Amino acid sequence: MTVDKKYESKRKAADVFGRVIVFISALLLIIITVSLFLFVTSKGLSTFIKDGISIKEFLFSTTWNPDREVPAVGSLQFIIGSILVSVFAIMISAPLGVSSAIFMVEIEKKLGQKILQPAIEIFVGIPSVVYGWVGLTVLVPFISKHFGGLGFSLLAGILVLAVMTLPTITSVSTDSIKSLPVEIREASYALGATRWQTIRHVVIPAAKPGILTAIILGLARAFGEALAVQMVIGNRPVIPKSFLEPMSTITSIITMDMGNTVMGSVWNDALWSLALLLLIISFTFIIIIRLVGRRGMYK
């Protein structure tokens, strides 16, 4: 057998070269993640290190006067605002999302895959500014007209986010329900259970880790959404006392103020601290999802 030595060494070299290239690409993901953490952390900590503001004041005070002579950057209202708007949004979208996932997998497979699945994908694809724009031009006047107030409110933010998180929750729970083995359903039917009994006592408990993951992912999306929320909540730096009052969130204050502040000022530093807080929260969500996912029965 004759071996073309030159060709042989060339393709061996290509083999090594290819391996190195794809390895570097994968490493780049780590490098980007680490540098993102490092940069945001180092900027975010300067509020506490350079400007001498205590972490306690930042997290637990609601006095937001970043432009005064003695700046106060208490951010509790933004944190509470973010929590309120995303938790209530999830309370609407989670039941709807999980229900439509069950519909797609357990009740109308064909119809679900032909119509609902593409519809959900389109929902995911609609840009957040478009959601915000519709919220601003339809929802806000509607709320103002029928419930009173300006319309720019916690309620508007909740409804916009409910729509935006719905597709996330639906598609992730669909995947998790789909991956359950068909035998557990058959066993349930063989015992004489109705479809609803099977869904309630077999499918939902078995898919629980996946459904929880879906809900946490939805929550993470709601927490991190910036523009759609900012457009409809009125952006007043206070804790809303009712659903109809204007408010602010962590993301909305960053969006609003980042352009008006000078790098290095206390005001600007405080915005970076809020960004750091967002980063920590979103990382926490990821860790929780990993812990929940590990508990899955059927993998």
Partner 1 sequence: MNSKLYDKIATIYFYVVATFLIVFLISLISYILYQGRTRLNIDFLTSPPKFMEVGGGIGPQLFNSIELLIITLIISVPIGLGAGIYMAEYAKPGLLTEIIRLSVETLSSMPSIVVGLFGLLVFVTMTGWGYSLIAGALTLTVLNLPVMTRVSEDSIRSVPNSLREASYALGSTKWQTIVKVVVPAAMPGIITGIILTAGRIFGEAAALLYTAGMSSPALNFSNLNPSSPTSPLNIFRSAETLAVYIWKVNSEGLAPDARQIADGAAAVLLLMVLIFNILARWLGSILYKRMTGEK
Site for partner 1 in 239-258 (CB under 8 A): 251, 254-255, 258
91 contacts partner 1 (rule: CB under 8 A): no
Task: Indicate the burial class of 45 (C-beta count within 10 angstroms; 0-12, 13-18, 19 or more).
Answer: middle
What character string, x for contact with partner 1 (CB under 8 A) and - otherwise, covers 185-224?
--------xxxxx-x-----------------x--xx-xx
Alpha-carbon distances, residue 198 vs 174, 186, 190 (angstroms): 16, 9, 10
Bridge partner residues of 73 (DSSP): 64
Q: How far is the CB of 55 from partner 1 (least distance, A)?
A: 19
Total residues contacting partner 1 (rule CB under 8 A)? 88
Instruction: List the one residue from 165, 225, 234, 267 that touches partner 1 (CB under 8 A).
Output: 225
121 contacts partner 1 (rule: CB under 8 A): yes
Instruction: List the one residue from 59, 91, 119, 291 that touches partner 1 (CB under 8 A).
Output: 119
Q: How far is the CB of 166 from partner 1 (least distance, A)?
A: 8
**Token code pair at residue 274:** 């809020």
Q: Kindly tell me which of 190 and 263 has the beta carbon lying closer to partner 1.
A: 263
Q: How far is the CB of 127 from partner 1 (least distance, A)?
A: 3
Of 295, 208, 283, whose CA–CA distance to 37 is shortest?
Answer: 283
**Token code pair at residue 235:** 């952006």
88 contacts partner 1 (rule: CB under 8 A): no
Q: What does 203-256 look like in DSSP terms, one character per residue? A: IHHHTHHHHHHHHHHHHHHHHH--HHHHHHSB--SS--SSTTS-B--HHHHHHH
